[in-house]
Structure 1
Amino acid sequence: MHITDFDHLITETSSVALPESDAAAPGQLIAGLRARALPEGAAVLICMPNGRNLLKLFFALVAAGYVPAMLPPATPVLRLRQMAEDFGAVAVVRPRLGEELCKELHIEAVNRQAGWEVGFFRTLAKPVTEPGEVILTTSGTSSHFSSGCVHSFDSLRANAHKHAAEINLGATDTMLINLPLYYSFALVAQAIASIECGARLVISGPPFIGSQYVTDLARHRVTVSSVTPVLMRTLLAHSAAALPETVRALTVGGDFLAPEQAAAFVQRYPGKELYLTYGVTEAGPRVSTGRAHEANAKRFASVGRPMPGTLVRLLDVDGPAQEGELLVHSDTLLKRKIGRNALSPLVEMDGQTWLKTGDIFEIDEDGHLFFKHRKSDFIVLNDEKVNLAAIKQFCRALPGVLTCKTRSIRRADTVDGYFLEITVDDLLVGPAEADAMKAEIMKGLKHIERPSSLTLTPVNRQQYEFYK
């Protein structure tokens, strides 16, 4: 199948469907790029919501020799400007480009087309990418906004094929995509995998509402879908939101699912398949797949074995548990990383190129991978090691908590503390409950573990994008 021959496979749910007048014609965008003599291999930033138009843009740019970089539609202006500079972008595509935004992004001309507007940047740098490549963006830290992983499009297709084989995805399946397509998890393991297999695609989008998700599964007779651990917790918490008979499999990615939640799903839905996956954007992205529906209780905590053609090893193994940083070697690794402050995660060992994931794992005698924590999840305060992963896990178990993040406070070469930032459901945690929750958190932590600053932000759960 040619990469542009997929439109007939796509259905949109009512939450993302656009009027017929907004049906996009990517050929106009390509013609506009070529009319301005913009070089093939140059990057184009795509800030579009989930839907048919977004995928049509992505594949049309790849086919024409340009390099797509998909970003969240609400990406701040400062970050857009920085990535435009760092990625050597020649244009940005958004549903609308207002006058103020054009001024801040230094856009010299705008083409208004059905479904989107294209802004052409005034200052053009030499492309840092080549035809046939794709930029997958990754979230940065407070010291730098974002970086990009440059992949060969062919290697993304190869990764998608491997993942499809792992979950038995085929032409008779219908895949529901409700995660943002700018996540490599959704783009490669769902969209590209489905298109390569000839499976039907149903595209939805945020916000995630458990009852609506189940309704979409039933209405479109979906057989396969993917969720993050947060979304799985939402599904398990609503007993009325039972999965339809048509659903044969769910995959979980983006983070690690607690083993008790994997067990709860398998117990509630005997006969349905549950795949626990591990991947990182730099790996293209899928690395391993665990079959929870076939596992014993111990392996509900495992993300399975590496996919075929993927090798893993542990670096700096320490302690009786034999844990170490996971290194990955495969034919779908990124080619390079771009962006200011971007550091290459690739190392050469024993004549092979390996990806340093930054994740600490244990590997059992049968080759099953068990995630332990992020390498960056430990900080040292006053000569004592503090486990930020355990602190986040403690906070996430509290009623009403949606997300929990930590940010280390660094001065020179030392860590002086950390910020603890928690997002809560405003229907469950009001002002009075917030004070009580703060007190409970501080009481549950040792003195050395307590954050320098603790903030609770209440949000409307149905409008909040909390996919990761």
Structure 2
Amino acid sequence: MTAQHYDLDRITGFLDGVEEAQPGPDGGTESLAELVAAFAALPARPGSVVVIALPNGTRLLRLFFAVHLAGHTPVLLSPSTPPSRVRGIARHLGAFALVRAAIRRGDYGEADVRRLAGSDLAVFPGPHTAHGPGNVILMSSGTSGLATGCLHGMDALLRNARRHVASIGQNAADTVLVSLPAYYSFALVAQVLGSLVAGSRLVVAGPPFSTANYLSTVRGRRVTVSSLTPILAKSLVAAGVELPSPLRSLTVGGQALDGDHVARLLKLNPDLGVYLTYGLTEAGPRVSTLAAHREPPHRHGSVGLPLDGVEVTVRDNELLVRSDTVYRERVGEPAPSKRGQLVEPGLVATGDIGFVDPDGYVVVRGRSTDFTVVRGEKVSMAAVRRAAESLPHVVRAAARVLDDDTDTDSARLELDVYVDDVNSPSEAEVQRQLRSLLTRSERPRVVRVHPLPAGEFHK
């Protein structure tokens, strides 16, 4: 089944069944059909890029599907992204329009701003890029850089979603909780599109994540399928929390969850299906799944078997993924990234170091790119460095993270900036300037300024 089978009526029916765990802001009175008509009426070429930077909720989902059904290219972005950062991303993507909860006059230059679905819509003067109808851009800036997007066909994303739900046994009787940000490729494809193809009921929550709210939502909304990042799963294990019924399936993706935490999670929840998943945005995004509750402990260090239609091989210790859901091209990328490079159409070099054992199980040993997780969010250390090095008088920067992986709020990002010794900015000034360039999770808690003597200024 391809994207065109998910027409206005079917998507409207799906969205009508979506619930919000906590009441969100006013989503406007427009129906999905009216939103589709509004986007279709914009003076834009088919496939024009529309950036949506809104919090999780039904309003976000309605606008995402409306842009798609209108024949344009939606791209989701963190709602906490500072306006200056959004401007840069929109420029690199050649975006035609932007949707945010509120847009202040002057934030986006000469953009024409109007209200739509309880939000502000800014139309940029150009230049614009159009990719044709039926496309979606998934942002991978958490690991690859400031403004890296991957162009996918909606049909390929739906195919990947269908393979994912099959691998975890999700069906129309399930209620799925989305507590991860919808701009994560996992949340959008595996959970939102996965629930669309499976016919599951969808409940949309945060972020931010709290254990108390999570457990209350699972009980109160009768959630049967949930997904967490490894750091959130570890925090529940560390607290000794037994997950409540009717939850029957928990998927954990992102970084690898070590075998000890898997064993403890299974011991706390003997009747729970625990699925460890592996993927990357460039692959569309899911690659493999391990049904940990059905595997012996020695398998818990792996990320399981490739999904149907996916092949994982190894070249020089790097994992390669071949699939008909691999992205077609990178867009909006100011500087090339080694992670996720296309070897050839349909074959992506993951940038992950690992191997495939004789039984076909995929093992990931680490990533060749430098990224970390801060407050449950993926953060590109290279992106933080580049932002710091864009400041006046900063010659170079070095970022590192210190954290306790049992506490999602304890991660501390530290930044050393090396500056010229003429009019050097203070640590407080660097912090102030970075606030307009970085998201909350990317902002360092500690900044150290180191003057460099003349002759060492090598930007």
- TM bucket (normalised to shorter chain) is 0.7 to 0.9
TM-score, length-scaled by structure 1: 0.77
Q: How does 1:345-360 map to 2 (within 5 A)?
A: 345-348=341-344, 353-360=346-353
Structure 1 residue 342: Cα displacement? 4.0
Aligned with residue 422 of structure 1, among 395, 399, 402? 402
The more displaced of 26-35 and 131-140 is: 26-35
CA distance in 2, matches of 1:186, 1:428: 19
CA contact (8 A) 2:143 2:379 kept: no
Summarize the Cα distance change of 1:213–1:40 in structure 2 as closer, same or farther, 3 Å threshold. Answer: same
CA contact (8 A) 1:276 1:289 kept: yes
CA distance in 1, matches of 2:226, 2:441: 18
Alignment of 1:117 with 2:120, yes or no, is yes
Summarize the Cα distance change of 1:34–1:417 in structure 2 as closer, same or farther, 3 Å threshold. Answer: closer
Task: List runs of 5+ in structure 2 lacking aligned partners.
Answer: 1-5, 390-395, 415-439, 443-459
Aligned with residue 56 of structure 1, among 42, 62, 77? 62
Structure 1 residue 341: Cα displacement? 2.1
Alignment of 1:176 with 2:182, yes or no, is no
CA distance in 2, matches of 1:401, 1:208: 9
Structure 1 residue 420: Cα displacement? 1.6
Give aligned-pair identity as a percent: 38
Structure 1 residue 362: Cα displacement? 1.9
Query: Equivalent residue for 1:198?
Result: 199
CA deviation profile, 1:150-183 (whole Å, cap 9, x unmatched): 0000000000000000000000000011000000
Aligned with residue 132 of structure 2, among 130, 133, 139? 130
CA deviation profile, 1:317-350 (whole Å, cap 9, x unmatched): xxxxxxx1000001100011011224571113xx
CA contact (8 A) 2:40 2:70 kept: no
* 2:209 aligned counterpart, secondary structure: coil
CA contact (8 A) 2:52 2:98 kept: yes
CA contact (8 A) 2:280 2:287 kept: yes
CA contact (8 A) 1:151 1:333 kept: yes
Q: Which structure is higher in strand share? A: 1
* 1:84 aligned counterpart, secondary structure: helix
Letter matched to residue 117 of structure 1: D
Summarize the Cα distance change of 1:223–1:141 in structure 2 as closer, same or farther, 3 Å threshold. Answer: closer
CA contact (8 A) 1:140 1:146 kept: no
Summarize the Cα distance change of 1:87–1:204 in structure 2 as closer, same or farther, 3 Å threshold. Answer: same
Query: Equivalent residue for 1:362?
Result: 355
CA distance in 1, matches of 2:43, 2:408: 55
Q: How does 1:50-449 map to 2 (within 5 A)?
A: 50-99=56-105, 103-121=106-124, 123-139=125-141, 145-239=146-240, 241-316=241-316, 324-339=317-332, 340-342=334-336, 345-348=341-344, 353-376=346-369, 418-422=398-402
Summarize the Cα distance change of 1:299–1:418 in structure 2 as closer, same or farther, 3 Å threshold. Answer: farther
* 1:6 aligned counterpart, secondary structure: helix
* 1:179 aligned counterpart, secondary structure: coil
CA distance in 2, matches of 1:147, 1:134: 13
Structure 1 residue 107: Cα displacement? 3.9
Summarize the Cα distance change of 1:405–1:353 in structure 2 as closer, same or farther, 3 Å threshold. Answer: closer
Summarize the Cα distance change of 1:183–1:108 in structure 2 as closer, same or farther, 3 Å threshold. Answer: same
Summarize the Cα distance change of 1:107–1:193 in structure 2 as closer, same or farther, 3 Å threshold. Answer: farther
* 1:75 aligned counterpart, secondary structure: coil
Structure 1 residue 312: Cα displacement? 1.1
CA distance in 1, matches of 2:25, 2:168: 31
Query: Equivalent residue for 2:21?
Result: 13
Question: RCO higher in 1 or 2 (8 Å CA, sep ≥ 6)?
Answer: 2
CA contact (8 A) 2:377 2:441 kept: no
CA distance in 2, matches of 1:198, 1:139: 30
Runs of at least 4 residues of structure 1 off by over 6 A?
400-405, 408-411, 427-430
Letter matched to residue 343 of structure 2: V
CA distance in 2, matches of 1:286, 1:270: 26
Letter matched to residue 110 of structure 1: V
* 2:148 aligned counterpart, secondary structure: strand
* 1:89 aligned counterpart, secondary structure: coil
Structure 1 residue 421: Cα displacement? 2.8
Summarize the Cα distance change of 1:106–1:50 in structure 2 as closer, same or farther, 3 Å threshold. Answer: same
CA deviation profile, 1:356-388 (whole Å, cap 9, x unmatched): 0000012111011111011235xxxxxxxxxxx
Summarize the Cα distance change of 1:29–1:88 in structure 2 as closer, same or farther, 3 Å threshold. Answer: farther
Letter matched to residue 376 of structure 1: T
CA distance in 1, matches of 2:52, 2:397: 37
Task: List runs of 5+ in structure 1 lacking aligned partners.
Answer: 317-323, 378-388, 439-463
Letter matched to residue 215 of structure 1: S
CA contact (8 A) 1:404 1:420 kept: no
Considering only aligned residues, what root-mean-square deviation do their CA atoms show, in Å?
A: 3.3
Letter matched to residue 419 of structure 1: A
Query: Equivalent residue for 2:451?
Result: none
Letter matched to residue 113 of structure 2: V
Structure 1 residue 242: Cα displacement? 2.5
CA contact (8 A) 2:48 2:96 kept: yes
CA contact (8 A) 1:315 1:326 kept: yes
Letter matched to residue 180 of structure 1: P
TM-score, length-scaled by structure 2: 0.78
CA contact (8 A) 2:71 2:133 kept: yes
CA contact (8 A) 2:354 2:362 kept: yes
Summarize the Cα distance change of 1:362–1:108 in structure 2 as closer, same or farther, 3 Å threshold. Answer: closer
CA distance in 2, matches of 1:183, 1:401: 12
Letter matched to residue 201 of structure 2: R
Summarize the Cα distance change of 1:22–1:274 in structure 2 as closer, same or farther, 3 Å threshold. Answer: same
* 2:11 aligned counterpart, secondary structure: coil
Q: How many residues align?
A: 397
* 2:96 aligned counterpart, secondary structure: strand
